[in-house]
Structure 1
Amino acid sequence: MGSNTLSPQERRSSFATVLVAEAAERAGFYGVDAILLLFMVQQLGITDHRADLMVGAFAAMTYATPLLGGWIGDCLYGPRWTAIFGTLLLSAGYALLACTTLTSRSFFEPALALVATGNGLFKPNAAQLVRRLYEKYPLKRDSAFTLYYMAANVGSALSMFLIPWVRNTFDPLLAFSLCVAGPACALFILLTQTGTLRDLGILTRQSVSLKRATAFGTGSVILCILSVTFILYSTSLARLAVFSCLTLVFILWATLYRRATPSERLSLVTLGIMLIQSIAFYCFYQQMQTSLTQFALTNVDGTFRILGHRIVNFSAAQFQALDPLFIILFSSPMAGIYNVLSRRNRDVSLPTKFAIGFGFVVVAFFIWWGGIHLAAGNLTSAWFMAGGYLALAMAEVLIGGLGLAVVAKYAPASLNGIMVGAYYLTVGAGMYLGSEIASKASSTAMSQAVQSQHYENLFGILCLCALALALLTLFLAQQLNRMEKRISGKNVSNTEI
């Protein structure tokens, strides 16, 4: 049974299954993500500068491996079984991180490699299931992917509040052990729930025998785990791997462009431009896990107060939970707005939504810069941190939340899984470059006042860069919208003739 034969109730049931599995898996992943940097610095004794770069390398590999996962899902196992394989690797990776706290530091890089590879198998194929559900319903696609993105943030918000508290109150062993529950729950859901999802997640074509598919897939995954492990040991090797992967994406895009028809080329040009914009956005996004977390640890008063009365206190890691919390609040209303605009034929184009998103990036870094400036060398108020996270969450809803919708709309349908992997690779490249930027402001040898000035300069520069990008993306959106209308007009004319 394919997605075209599903009843509305079956489609909703299948979609709900994917949303719950995504939320559970992301709860484990972002629980680890929230405490990883501080665990490296405080428990493993890694320097701030090296920790920033290593976190960036891990992020890059986490989002590069979906290229492999997309290929395996498209050509070998199908999206459902590839996602299931991913949850197994994620569970093993988190368990090995827990072992790192008990035994040897040498388990750390292999554990991260298992997590990166497991994420690469799960992410593009969960998204592929959503695409298949709504491939014949384009007016509902942006809304569906926005809700899918919200589901990921439901899981991450809960774990990013809970896991740092568990680490601080008890120990990292318990924190990492709790993270295993996330992918384990996703595994159970994908194996047992919703019969329609079983049929939806099969291969659309069978190009190789089952025995060869198993050998190719298993061998590729093992090679990936070993490669990522070695990359994480070396900063220079990580940098080389990131730019090599970007080169691979460009070659893939250029090959598709050369073979495309004129109308398909417009879609590929739009896709290429928006992938570059995605890289730029995630340079800013990565500051949450790196420079903003380090800044919160040393230069922020984590207590929220109203009229002098203490409301709640946040640890440095818990500030990151504000991002998914705000995304949860914004995603459902935004999905509703998209649906209303679509029904009235007044929908805003994806390039324009990206441009508006970069405007919110400007606001976020202006708030953080302003908070440091007003603090004048003292601790920055937690409210400024929250205000910046709110603005960046709006940007993420408009850019990160719709990145998969961009691929679903502009990429060739036969290669959607691979192109989802290519999209995630650009996300990882942007996060690695963001970590490179953050490492410039990570020296613990500085006094608090000098550190504050250092972060003020960093956030001010990032604010100006975001402003330039916002203006550029707005200009590009106008040009792409005109080109798309021109091509659509020609197609209508040809149809009438």
Structure 2
Amino acid sequence: MHTSSVTIHPFREKNRAFSVVLFIELWERFGYYGMQSILVLFLINRMHFNDQNANLLIGAFSAMTYAAPVLGGWIGDKIIGNRRAMLYGSIILAMGYLLLAEATHDTAILYLTMAVISTGNGLFKPNAATLVRRIYDQNDDQLDIAFTLYYMAVNVGSTVSMLLCPILKDYYGWSAAFITCFIGLVLGILNYFATHKRLNPYLPKKDQDPLSWPVQGLIFLGIVTFISGMTFLIQSATLIAACMWAAAILIFLLWIIMYYRIDSSNRYGLKIMYILTLEGMLYFIFYQQMSTSLTLFAQRNINPAFYIGSYHLFNWSSGQFQALNPIAIILLSPILAKLYDYINRQSYDISIATKFITGFSFVAFAFGIWWFACFRSTTPQLSSWVMIYGYFFLSLGELLTSGLGLAVIARYVPASMNGFMTGSYFMASGISLYIGSKIANLAASKNINTATDHLTLQLYQNLFLNLFIAAIIVLILLVVLYPLIQKWDRNFKTNQI
């Protein structure tokens, strides 16, 4: 008699296994976003890049970091297993953050560090997400809830580091902030070794068997080769952009091949995943502004002091404003999860396409707030509360778009393709992040050192207006495509019965 995996592994055991991935992901995000909170400031203030070069380097780094999971997901699925790939990625990332502390004196080390971090992220990110998928397999009604809570919990790590690292930088220097990112991830790795056996019931045999020495040697050689290649590429934003677009074309061709090779019962699901991935890709253009234009806007045109009336509360460093994003996600995620759970219990389902449309309306509203604040301001220094209002709606839009990107893959893509498709999703996001950095340069003065506060305010006002209009156009596009996506969803569910 067949017994389902739900019976063999009670939901409590699933949650215990989920906590293993959750905790190491939390500390990985602590390191990555701690670094990101000060990266553009580091490039401009310490390494003496100008705005345009700093934005483009961050764009190239982001694209590389998000494209690498395509290969990392395939390696985890087909060669070394998802759990092992996640562990290797976390160790490489920790090494990258440690190297970054030395990059404060050498541009060559900076490029090497970015390549190491991108490689580690490529192994870590898609395989951690795939493990969540494996744990909650056969519990599709819980996937949106699980990924929403997952999205919330990992933002705890990024919130703490985004608040902490800019302060450490201000008081103890750049190296102290980057070493803190390294220490955080080491704590996550130690916890993994203490609890990793909880994952065993949800892993295929390949992920539990030891690797032979020849395979380990090949993996090590491949990692070193990849890091060397990325170190060379990242020094040329033009070259990495060309490679990125070439990879995008290859992925697109593979999507077409997979569509025609897959069982016809799954094709409607793939079409939904493809179109929603492209829609989610558009969101990351706006998301990239957090680590580029919005951080520089905070440094140049936002009063760092928080007031209620005439009462002074505290001051924030410009890099700390990025923490408003994970703070909003932490506050909003439980509300959305409870809302999804209530709707499920009412036997009614809000489609993911509907959530995407709602999300982009909030994105448009966020940039509308920033544009209007600049437009109506009579001084070049705006209230810090403007950042809170805008980040609130931008973060809500994130939860309803990119926050559900992995849930789209888990819901509509066969398990055997999950790692590769997750990697494809991150690569598409990387393309958008590079485009987002190019767009951020619309607010880059040719000589920012001589630019007045009034000039920078005008530059950011024009940028935010363009982004507001672009978000409205995307929203209209989503509404037009909505009936088609709903039709595909009905056909997909019919074929799965």
TM-score (normalised: structure 1): 0.94
Q: Distance in 2 between matches of 1:183 and 1:248?
A: 33
Map 1:454-493 to 2 at 5 A.
454-486=459-491, 488-489=493-494
Q: Which residue of 1 aligns with 2:101?
A: 98
Q: Distance in 2 between matches of 1:425 and 1:280?
A: 13
Map 1:302-313 to 2 at 5 A.
302-313=304-315
Pairing partner for 1:407 from 409, 414, 428: 409
Per-residue CA distance 1:77-131 (angstroms, 9 max, x = gap): 1111111101111111111111123x53321110111111111111111111110
Once the 2 structures are TM-superposed, how far is the Cα of residue 237 of structure 1 from its aligned partner?
0.8
Q: Distance in 2 between matches of 1:445 and 1:256?
A: 53
Pairing partner for 1:43 from 41, 46, 62: 46
Q: Distance in 2 between matches of 1:123 and 1:326?
A: 22
Q: Which residue of 2 aligns with 1:453?
A: 458
Report the more deviating stretch, 465-474 or 217-226: 217-226
Task: Tell me if the contact between 1:352 and 1:478 (Cα under 8 Å) persists in the aligned partners.
Answer: no
Pairing partner for 1:182 from 177, 184, 187: 184
Map 1:72-91 to 2 at 5 A.
72-91=75-94
Q: Which residue of 2 aligns with 1:283?
A: 285
> CA 1:198 to 1:318, structure 2 compared with 1: closer, same or farther past 3 Å?
same
Unaligned runs of 5+ in 2: none
Pairing partner for 1:134 from 126, 132, 136: 136
Q: Which residue of 1 aligns with 2:36?
A: 33
Q: Distance in 2 between matches of 1:437 and 1:203?
A: 46
Task: Tell me if the contact between 1:294 and 1:442 (Cα under 8 Å) persists in the aligned partners.
Answer: no
Report the more deviating stretch, 115-124 or 476-485: 476-485
Q: Which residue of 1 aligns with 2:157?
A: 155
Once the 2 structures are TM-superposed, how far is the Cα of residue 347 of structure 1 from its aligned partner?
1.5
Task: Tell me if the contact between 1:75 and 1:203 (Cα under 8 Å) persists in the aligned partners.
Answer: no
Q: Distance in 2 between matches of 1:457 and 1:213?
A: 54
Pairing partner for 2:371 from 369, 376, 379: 369
Q: Distance in 1 between matches of 2:7 and 2:115?
A: 38
SS in 1 for 2:347: coil
Once the 2 structures are TM-superposed, how far is the Cα of residue 376 of structure 1 from its aligned partner?
3.3
Report the more deviating stretch, 162-171 or 255-264: 255-264
SS in 1 for 2:102: helix
Q: Which residue of 1 aligns with 2:418?
A: 416
Q: Distance in 1 between matches of 2:313 and 2:97?
A: 33
Report the more deviating stretch, 199-208 or 39-48: 199-208
Per-residue CA distance 1:356-389 (angstroms, 9 max, x = gap): 1101101100010011112135211111111000
SS in 1 for 2:272: helix
Q: Distance in 2 between matches of 1:378 and 1:206?
A: 59
Task: Tell me if the contact between 2:86 and 2:123 (Cα under 8 Å) persists in the aligned partners.
Answer: yes
> CA 1:377 to 1:201, structure 2 compared with 1: closer, same or farther past 3 Å?
farther
Per-residue CA distance 1:328-371 (angstroms, 9 max, x = gap): 00111111111111122212111111111101101100010011
Once the 2 structures are TM-superposed, how far is the Cα of residue 481 of structure 1 from its aligned partner?
0.7
- Is 1:339 the counterpart of 2:341? The answer is yes
Letter in 2 for 1:85: Y
Map 1:31-430 to 2 at 5 A.
31-101=34-104, 103-203=105-205, 210-211=212-213, 213-430=215-432
> CA 1:194 to 1:314, structure 2 compared with 1: closer, same or farther past 3 Å?
same
Task: Tell me if the contact between 1:3 and 1:133 (Cα under 8 Å) persists in the aligned partners.
Answer: no
Once the 2 structures are TM-superposed, how far is the Cα of residue 475 of structure 1 from its aligned partner?
2.5
Q: Distance in 2 between matches of 1:126 and 1:286?
A: 23
Once the 2 structures are TM-superposed, how far is the Cα of residue 245 of structure 1 from its aligned partner?
2.2
Q: Which residue of 2 aligns with 1:10?
A: 13
Per-residue CA distance 1:288-340 (angstroms, 9 max, x = gap): 11011111111111212111211121121110000000000011111111111
Report the more deviating stretch, 342-351 or 285-294: 342-351
Per-residue CA distance 1:255-275 (angstroms, 9 max, x = gap): 111213443221111111111
> CA 1:226 to 1:192, structure 2 compared with 1: closer, same or farther past 3 Å?
same
Once the 2 structures are TM-superposed, how far is the Cα of residue 216 of structure 1 from its aligned partner?
4.1
Task: Tell me if the contact between 1:75 and 1:206 (Cα under 8 Å) persists in the aligned partners.
Answer: no
Report the more deviating stretch, 432-441 or 338-347: 338-347
> CA 1:205 to 1:117, structure 2 compared with 1: closer, same or farther past 3 Å?
closer
Task: Tell me if the contact between 1:351 and 1:480 (Cα under 8 Å) persists in the aligned partners.
Answer: yes
Task: Tell me if the contact between 2:268 and 2:491 (Cα under 8 Å) persists in the aligned partners.
Answer: no
Task: Tell me if the contact between 1:153 and 1:328 (Cα under 8 Å) persists in the aligned partners.
Answer: yes
Once the 2 structures are TM-superposed, how far is the Cα of residue 26 of structure 1 from its aligned partner?
0.7
Report the more deviating stretch, 50-59 or 180-189: 180-189
Q: Distance in 1 between matches of 2:261 and 2:204?
A: 28
Task: Tell me if the contact between 1:441 and 1:454 (Cα under 8 Å) persists in the aligned partners.
Answer: yes
Letter in 2 for 1:8: F
Q: Distance in 2 between matches of 1:189 and 1:197?
A: 13
Q: Distance in 1 between matches of 2:256 and 2:312?
A: 56
SS in 1 for 2:101: helix
Q: Distance in 1 between matches of 2:24 and 2:210?
A: 29
Once the 2 structures are TM-superposed, how far is the Cα of residue 478 of structure 1 from its aligned partner?
2.6
Task: Tell me if the contact between 2:266 and 2:495 (Cα under 8 Å) persists in the aligned partners.
Answer: no
Q: Distance in 2 between matches of 1:256 and 1:489?
A: 21
Task: Tell me if the contact between 2:86 and 2:124 (Cα under 8 Å) persists in the aligned partners.
Answer: yes
Give identity over the alignment, percent. Answer: 37
Q: Which residue of 1 aligns with 2:27?
A: 24
> CA 1:42 to 1:201, structure 2 compared with 1: closer, same or farther past 3 Å?
farther
Task: Tell me if the contact between 2:145 and 2:337 (Cα under 8 Å) persists in the aligned partners.
Answer: yes
Q: Distance in 1 between matches of 2:316 and 2:326?
A: 15
Unaligned runs of 5+ in 1: 493-497
Task: Tell me if the contact between 1:37 and 1:55 (Cα under 8 Å) persists in the aligned partners.
Answer: yes
Q: Distance in 1 between matches of 2:368 and 2:291?
A: 18
Task: Tell me if the contact between 1:75 and 1:205 (Cα under 8 Å) persists in the aligned partners.
Answer: no
Report the more deviating stretch, 319-328 or 146-155: 146-155
Per-residue CA distance 1:442-474 (angstroms, 9 max, x = gap): 225432212211111110111011011112112
Once the 2 structures are TM-superposed, how far is the Cα of residue 210 of structure 1 from its aligned partner?
3.4
Instruction: Provide the aligned length of Structure 1 versus Structure 2.
Output: 491
Q: Which residue of 2 aligns with 1:495?
A: none
Q: Distance in 2 between matches of 1:152 and 1:192?
A: 19
> CA 1:213 to 1:415, structure 2 compared with 1: closer, same or farther past 3 Å?
farther
